[in-house]
Amino acid sequence: MEHLRLILLIASFVLPLALGVILLLNCNKKLSRVMMAALLFNVSLFFLFNYFLFNNLHRFYSFTYSLHSAIMLWVFPFIYLYLKSILLDRKGLIKELWHLIPGLVVGLVSALLFYGLLSSEEQMLYLMNHGTELILTVPSLKMIHSLRLIRGGLVAIQVLCYFGLFIRLRKWHRLQLEDEFSDVEKLSIDRMKWYNIFFMLMGLLCVSLDIFIPLRQNNDLLFIFFLFLFSLAVWALGITSFKQQEPETDWVEMDVQPSPIVEDMPPKDNPLLNKLINYMETNQAFLQPNLSLTYTARQLGTNRTYLSTLINNEFGVNFNTYINQYRMDYINRYLNDHPGVHLEDLVHEGGFGSASTLKRAMKNAKQSAAED
């Protein structure tokens, strides 16, 4: 059991560290990979300090106590910043760095109390009797213990808050993509749904064990195992970041002055609407797998916001649904002429880009038909 315990403790910080270095060396100027590397380094440090704590290396751990408190509250914010970096540019991401402030504050308070209030002997006394009733008999140690409980409570609150925030972020991310791209499957973060549930459960479980069960070498294996699972999940999320694609657009409006929309103008008299329909039906632009709203707007001599508004007003759908409706009509005609064709051929012929995009379009088409 002791060997297993040691392996889990070491693997918990070595795996994220190794992957973080690989990601940083192969970031190719991708902001999301840089942020994932930052998350992995943060997690690696967190579990390295856990290694000191669980192996009673109190002298080493005493030097890292306040930093450990800070990075404990940076894990979920760094996950959030990684997800935001997939869609935001560097300037937009900088505005989100305030999520790191709670961890910074807790780290500074921990440093002031732990190093300013306790002597070296008291620091060792506290760490050696961590979670026991002995520390409640010494006022200064009792204050540090209270800080530990507050920190645990803050982590629990943070876990629940980011659980809800990740749900909102995933939906927001999907809506942003569907309003810009005709194929969003390779760009989506839908996989985060299951990671989010796992992180929430493991986070609350580990906080509960940390607060309510005293850490002793004869009863900490289960706790170490759950911590390892959390580290492994972050490592797995890091692996998926290699395949995560970032949108190749800056989301900036084109400097093109469009003709204003006349709201009471009949659809057939709207020049831009006629140009859009002609572009789709005559040029069959929908067969381009990587077709985007920005590119289409350029071809029509307008900007993406104006074109998006037009599609929403006239057809009641976003750009993604609008394009895939054309694709579905096209492959239905294709199937009439070529019965028994394989799914892969339909993906290629219809310009879907991926089988998952085609399946989602088929599902949406069936739902629309059922509602009609």
Tell me, what DSSP letter sits at residue 260? P
Judgement on whether residues 29 and 156 belong to the same structural domain of the protein: yes
Domain end marker among 195, 221, 240: 240
* Most confident among 72-86, 129-143, 235-249 (mean pLDDT): 72-86
Give the domain-ending residue among 205, 240, 275.
240
Can you say how many angstroms the Cα of residue 332 is from the centroid of all Cα atoms in its chain?
Answer: 36
The predicted structure's pLDDT at residue 259:
46
CATH number at residue 282: 1.10.10.60
Is residue 251 in some structural domain?
no
Alpha-carbon distance of 100 to 105, in angstroms, equals 9
Same domain, 39 and 149: yes
Q: Are residues 78 and 191 in the same domain?
A: yes
More confident call, 238 vs 129: 238
Which pLDDT score is estimated for 267? Answer: 52
Q: How many structural domains does the chain have?
A: 2
Is residue 258, in this structure, part of any structural domain at all? Answer: no
Between CA 61 and CA 123 the distance in angstroms is 10
Q: Can you tell me the mean pLDDT for 328-339?
A: 86
Task: With respect to residue 262, please indicate whether it lies within any of the assigned structural domains.
Answer: no
Write down the pLDDT at residue 261: 46
149 lies in the same domain as 53: yes
Q: State whether 290 and 194 are in the same domain.
A: no
How much helix, strand and coil, in percent to the nearest 5, is found in the chain? 75, 0, 25
CA distance 160 to 319: 34
Domain limits for position 312: 267-371
- Contact between 171 and 193 (Cβ < 8 Å): no
**CB burial of residue 101 (10 Å; 0-12, 13-18, 19+):** exposed
Q: Give me the pLDDT at residue 156, please.
A: 94
Instruction: Please compute the mean of the pLDDT values over residues 158-175 and round it to a whole number.
Output: 92
What confidence category does residue 188 fall into, taking pLDDT thresholds of 50, 70 and 90?
confident
Is 256 inside any structural domain? no
- Distance between CA 92 and CA 96 in Å, rounded? 7
**pLDDT, tens digit (0-9, with 9 covering 90-100), for 85-127:** 988 888 889 999 999 999 999 999 999 999 999 999 988 988 8
**Based on the domain organization, do 228 and 275 belong to the same domain?**
no
Look at residue 260 in the predicted model and tell me its pLDDT.
47
Q: pTM for this structure?
A: 0.83
User: What's the whole-number mean pLDDT along residues 229-238?
Assistant: 96
| Same-domain status, 229 and 275 | no
Give the C-alpha separation, 200 to 193, whole Å.
Answer: 11
| Domain contains 319 | yes
Contact 135, 142 (CB under 8 A): yes
What is the average pLDDT score of the chain? 86
Tokens for 227? 């911590």
Whether residues 170 and 227 share a domain: the answer is: yes
pLDDT digits (tens, 9 = 90+) for 139-156: 888 888 888 889 999 999
Residue 41 resides in a domain: yes
Torsion, Cα 268 295 172 156, to 10 degrees, reads: 180
What is the per-residue pLDDT across 278-304, written as a single tens digit (0 to 9) for each? Answer: 999 999 998 998 889 999 999 998 888
150 and 225, same domain (yes or no): yes
Give 83's pLDDT tier (boundaries 50, 70, 90): very high
In terms of domains, do 185 and 303 share one? no
In whole angstroms, give the CA distance from residue 243 to residue 34: 14
Residue 294 shares a structural domain with residue 218: no
What percent of the chain is predicted at pLDDT more than 70? 90
Q: Are residues 231 and 272 in the same domain?
A: no
Yes or no: say if 160 and 200 are a contact pair by the CB < 8 Å rule.
Answer: yes
Residue 222 lies in a domain: yes
All residues at 6 or more sequence positions from 357 whose CB lies less than 8 Å from its CB, including other chains = 183, 184, 185, 324, 347
The whole-angstrom separation of Cα 131 and Cα 210 is 9
Residue 219 banded pLDDT, cuts 50, 70, 90: low
Asked if residue 74 belongs to a domain, the reply is: yes
Residue-wise pLDDT tens digits, 30-71: 899 999 999 999 999 999 999 999 898 999 999 999 999 999
Dihedral angle at the C-alpha atoms of 258, 263, 265, 268, nearest 10 degrees?
Answer: 70
